[in-house]
Amino acid sequence: MPPEWAGLSPELLLSVDWDSGEQLRAQLERQLREAIRTGRLGAGERLPSSRGLARELGLSRGLVQDCYAQLQAEGYLVTRTGSATRVAEGAHVPPAPASRERPAPRLIADFRHGVPDLGSFPLADWLWATREAARAMPTADLDYGDPRGSSVLREVLAGYLRRVRAAAADPERIVVCSGYAQGLGLTLRALALAGVRAVAYEDPGGPATASAAVGVAGLRAVPVPVDEGGVDVRALDATGARAVIVTPAHQWPTGVVLAPERRTALIRWAMRRDAYVIEDDYDAEFRYDREPVGALQGLAADRVVSIGTVSKSLAPALRIGWILCPPALAAPLTEAKRLADRGSPALDQLALARLIESGRHDRHLRRMRTVYAARRAALVAALAAHAPGVRLTGLAAGFHAVLHLEPAADERSVIAAARERLVGLYGMSACRSDGAATPPRLVLGFGAVGERAITEGVAAVAGLLTDAPRPPHPG
């Protein structure tokens, strides 16, 4: 769609060379033809008025009018009474598109993990909060401001996190960031300045994200095993690392909750080693089987960096997160944020603050817990009906679960066969530091899959789950 200029003459980058020897009108016609032929000026796009373009280039209006008339005669421009001069339809012939592969058929169900129900984003509430925030925003808030973020949002977040996560949240030690990836990157940069050289991460976990972020910070990444109690603190201690990235509320991807004795051991490890725990407060908002688990940061605010976002509770595209900083890291984290981007967008921060203050955020979370609980129940029921006996774990929170295939099954073959049946499945192997496909597991996300699609998807691949394809016989 061509841009509209609300009655104002649009600007157009053209130039004339008075010393070239080429006639001025010829220069203008040549540049306009080239702009239209190459697509720089699209079909239907409005040109500046002859008076405005003449004034801009220091030419006579009559010369510009003659130029427009010539290009109209050639079919490049069109004029209508009472309307501006515009680029004619068909004046630009786009190059033949490169040959493309046929688009993949639409899936019956895509059990992609890590994605909330984007269709349930509370758009009306967000627009209301944005309007309210813009209406009340002081002019001074349009300046660069504090790199830690809006003081209004930091105050609101501190109260919210104390209330729902039992965090020791001090607004003076909160840094607003653009999601988890930036929060982790800033934290690792601050830890490197503090003398940390090796950072451990859960295995299975997010090896690609963790290793890349740790490497960019100039640190060494060390995988540490996870079992049914969470991260293995003894194995962590043996690595010599002075920082570890964990997901204690709902471990990614196994879904286990960090056991109470492990929480205590982890804090003791951090104190004994002068180390830090980086808590990814992942999936903490959505619990089903038990009472909510408080943030690890609430047990040792001087040793835990807690990173939270609205990516799962609202939508990833908002790019809003926060870092609860230990006192020793608050200043370097703030400086790292200042150097990174001078601070996150102010209006979005104020809108989030208004959304939380109004109670609309809590209302949305309550509604989504009901939605995800129903989808979780649909997944359990569909497997019980179509693939009885298949083991499913990690259902205590969030919107993904782990399906245990038969020990002899080939994870990759199951995924490939499911795709042929128009069902998207994803393996645990991508979450392991060594990429191993054994023991075979599937990570089933149900946040963005409706109940009907869950039932139909499970029915379509049930035979693969109960009689899973085996690896090809060697030789």
Half-sphere exposure of 382 (CA within 13 A, CB side): 25
pLDDT of 469: 62
Per-residue burial over 16-27, b if 16 or more Cβ lie within 10 Å, else e, is beeeeeeebbeb
- CATH of region 122-358: 3.40.640.10
Sorted by sequence, the CB contacts under 8 Å of residue 379 that are 6+ apart come out as: 392, 401, 444, 446, 454, 458
109-115+363-466 folds as Aspartate Aminotransferase, domain 1 (3.90.1150)
pLDDT of residue 5: 41
Q: Which single residue is written with the structure tokens 């298949």?
A: 390
- Of 396, 36, 32, nearest in space to 248 by CA: 396
Non-local CB neighbours of 334 within 8 Å, separated by 6+ positions: 147, 148, 175, 325
Q: Please, which residues bridge with residue 225 across strands?
A: 203
User: In angstroms, what CA-CA distances link 417 with 85, 280, 413, 462, 463?
Assistant: 57, 34, 6, 11, 10
CATH number of 24-87: 1.10.10.10
pLDDT of residue 2: 46
Quick one: pLDDT at residue 191? 97
> What is the pairing mode between strands 423-424 and 109-110?
parallel
Residue pair 175/322 in contact (Cβ under 8 Å)? The answer is yes
Note the pLDDT of residue 244.
97
Q: CA-CA distance, 286 to 373, in Å (whole number)?
A: 9
Query: What is the distance in angstroms between the CA of the first residue and the CA of the last residue of the chain?
Result: 59
Give the start-to-end residue ranges of the domains of the chain.
24-87, 109-115+363-466, 122-358
Q: Are 418 and 425 in contact (CB under 8 A)?
A: yes
Which regions in the chain score pLDDT beneath 70?
Answer: 1-9, 93-100, 289-292, 468-475
Give bridge partners of residue 231 from the DSSP assignment: 226
Question: How far, in whole angstroms, is CA 89 from its chain's centroid?
Answer: 39
